[in-house]
Homo-oligomer: A and B are copies of this chain.
Amino acid sequence: MIIVMEPGAPEEQIQDVVERLEHYGFRIVLNRGDVMTVVAAIGDKRLVQTESIASMPGVRQILPIREPYKLAGRESQPHDTIIDLGHGVKLGTGYPLVVMAGPCSVEDNLEGLLKVARSVKNDGAQVLRGGAFKPRTSPYDFQGLEEKGLQYLAKAREETGLLVITEVMDSHDVDLVSNYADILQIGARNMQNFKLLKAVGKANKPVMLKRGPSANLREFLLAAEHILYQGNNDVILCERGIRSLDSNFTRNTLDLSAVPVIKKYSHLPIIVDPSHGTGQRYLVPPMAKAALASGADGLMIEVHHNPDKAYSDGAQSLTMDEFTTLMKEIKRLEEVLRPINAV
């Protein structure tokens, strides 16, 4: 439920309400607005008599949270979440587009990785992506360099100043990956791996959660809810294409309307991955621009120093030159869209 405090209610009244609710086992989210404070209490409302809260000093009104995604939804938090990724980079409504770029997999070639990292940094990307633990449909495909890959990413960060995002696949690897990464990535196929969601919910790093290939938006927000519920508020959503009619022309169907829908129902930032979302290099630039126009807060794009020899997903990786061109277009587009979307 939502407890709306009187405008100007003193801090001690707010604390009293919080303590009483915590005493009954509720999880509390505090939203301190300019005019009044709102307390969102998540838990079993049968545990407390609503009237006993309503009559506490400073309480103006009690409202139910009707949305199933209580913490991810706008009812408990009307304002947009802005996530501080480190190195001065902030992600969310009103902030510059955050671009995450790099190879699909971290490969056994540190020089290649550094080459890509320097190049995308120079083009304006803020985050380096690269998989060290790789979920692969077939056991006969490249499974990732694991910790060695994490070390390579850390070296690239040292050298370039880029932030690092990489995937964690198992609840017991969260600590290991957190030692190297600035942002933990949950892959599409693990969107409903609830033990893993719980584990990253307890980590002190931002988490980027990819939408599952057949997940509707309710399920997507509820997966985010599992993370938020553990106390980690820094959740970034990522649209990366859904399974749809056929796969003759595209690997997935990029569902860009998810961006404005999520913006309406949730305060969490959302980025788009046009590389996995299409699976085809020539489709990445137009869909990256379309994602920006739809209102996305960021982009995740695969870039490889030699896509034809990539260990994985070469067909959808941009060359460094293609990425340079795209980033120039994106910047010009951003300048026009910023004031439009601000209206």
A112 proximity list for chain B (CB < 8 A): none
Which of A88-96, A131-139, A299-307, A313-321 lies on the face that meets chain B? A131-139
Question: Does the CB pair A246–B332 fall under 8 Å?
Answer: no
A192 proximity list for chain B (CB < 8 A): 135, 137, 189-190
- Interface check A292, CB cutoff 8 A: yes
A216 proximity list for chain B (CB < 8 A): 245-246, 248-249
- Interface check A176, CB cutoff 8 A: no
Which of A76-84, A115-123, A166-174 lies on the face that meets chain B? A166-174
Task: Give the distance in Å from the alpha carbon of A171 to the alpha carbon of B325 in the complex.
Answer: 44
Question: Does the CB pair A333–B337 fall under 8 Å?
Answer: yes
A222 proximity list for chain B (CB < 8 A): 137-139
Which of A11-19, A54-62, A152-160, A279-287 lies on the face that meets chain B? A279-287
Question: Does the CB pair B139–A257 fall under 8 Å?
Answer: no
- Interface check A259, CB cutoff 8 A: yes
Question: Does the CB pair A245–B242 fall under 8 Å?
Answer: yes
> Which listed residue (B189, B278, B293) contacts A289, Cβ 8 A?
B293
- Interface check A247, CB cutoff 8 A: yes
Given contacts A194-B136, A195-B170, A293-B290, contact A217 B249 (CB under 8 A): yes
Given contacts A169-B195, A189-B193, A340-B329, contact A255 B257 (CB under 8 A): no
